[in-house]
Structure 1
Amino acid sequence: MMSRVQKGVIAGLVATVAVSILEAVNLFAGPWVEPFPLFIAGMLGMPGNLAVGWIAHFVAGSVVLGSLFGILCPKMPGQTPETKGIIFAVGAWAVLMVTVFLFGDPRIFRGSGGFGMVAWMLVSHAVFGIVLGNVYARLVEREKRAAKLMDGVAPAH
């Protein structure tokens, strides 16, 4: 039996992979806006270091946001798991924007960034939330089905 945090981390990892595919297309076919891994690397004081950006992107998406979603999901508003995921991810996006403006360098949104970058980040966070909520709900449902199958079964040892 997995804890809510474990389910959240798995769902966060899957959602991060989904968003990373979008980011990879943006990075290699465009870039139309600054890729999120480069944005994160710049915020961490290592501008241009794509490896650091990807690592931070996966840690933040799976460990931080995934586990936080696992904790908060049962108490969140929304009718569907995907709606809960979008609400959560857009909230995470808002925290990121406030953090950048309060503690980071808001000039990163000028020039090649600007509104396009903010909009891209909002859309990619919404995609993250949809996948996060869907995978989390599937893990919960899978565990419920397994518990129902095991109901009344004697232990093997």
Structure 2
Amino acid sequence: MPCYIRSMMAGFAATVVLSLLMLMKGAMGLMPELNPIAMLTDMAHTKMGMPASPMVGWVAHFVIGTVLWGILFKLLHSKLPGGTALVKGMSFSVLAWLMMMILPMPMAGAGLFGMKLGMMAPVMTLMMHLIWGAALGFVYSRLQADSSAAKAATD
């Protein structure tokens, strides 16, 4: 399987983990004002004229997590700090979090680092991104190992 497909599969799996965390956060009533899906939906609607449907936000969320971050993780993997893919994934997640804090958060009206939502917004999103990064790195390493084992078996 091509390396970019593996990296996008890892991005997808990590985005599923992050999505489950977001749904659990919402179900517990924690920081309802911090809703990335609603933010993405609103941005797509107001800035691109897309329908104001949460499905638009969810699709954007998965495209960003799977394609953008999945491929970027593969491209930066060898340059990221850490000795294992799991640690590299967590290192990468800090980059993804930082990008979210300085680009989409202000665009969505939440301010730089989401500070208009309060101090918990950047802290909670960082924790969720670190878990996302751990999942990204873990799945990526497993897919790499499976690919290496399959290649060795055919040689």
TM-score by length of 1: 0.83
Structure-2 change in CA distance of 1:12 and 1:122 (3 Å): same
Structure-2 residue corresponding to 1:22: 21
Match of residue 148 from structure 2:
144
Pair 101,127 (structure 1): closer, same or farther in 2 beyond 3 Å: closer
1:129 and 2:133 correspond = yes
> Do residues 12 (structure 1) and 16 (structure 2) align?
no
Deviation of 1:68 (Å): 1.1
Are 1:73 and 2:62 matched, yes or no?
Answer: no
Give me the identity figure in percent: 31
Aligned Cα RMSD in Å?
A: 2.2
Deviations 1:54-88 (A, max 9, x none): 11111100111011112221332211111100111
**Residue 55 of structure 1 pairs with residue 59 of structure 2:** yes
Counterpart CA distance in 2 for 1:42 and 1:114 is 20
Q: Which is further off, 2-11 or 131-140?
A: 2-11
Distance 1:103 1:54, change over 3 A: closer
Higher Cα Rg, which structure: 1
Residue deviations 1:71-122 (CA, integer Å, cap 9, x gap): 2213322111111001111101111212247655344632xx2211211111
Aligned pair 1:109/2:115, yes or no? Answer: yes
- Given that 1:89 and 1:129 are in contact with CA atoms closer than 8 Å, whether structure 2 keeps it comes out as yes
| Unpaired runs of at least 5, structure 1 | 152-157
Higher mean C-alpha deviation, range 92-101 or range 65-74? 92-101
* Structure 1 SS opposite 2:103: helix
Aligned residues: 148
Structure 2 equivalent of residue 98 of structure 1: 102
> Secondary structure, in 3 states, of the residue corresponding to 1:5?
helix
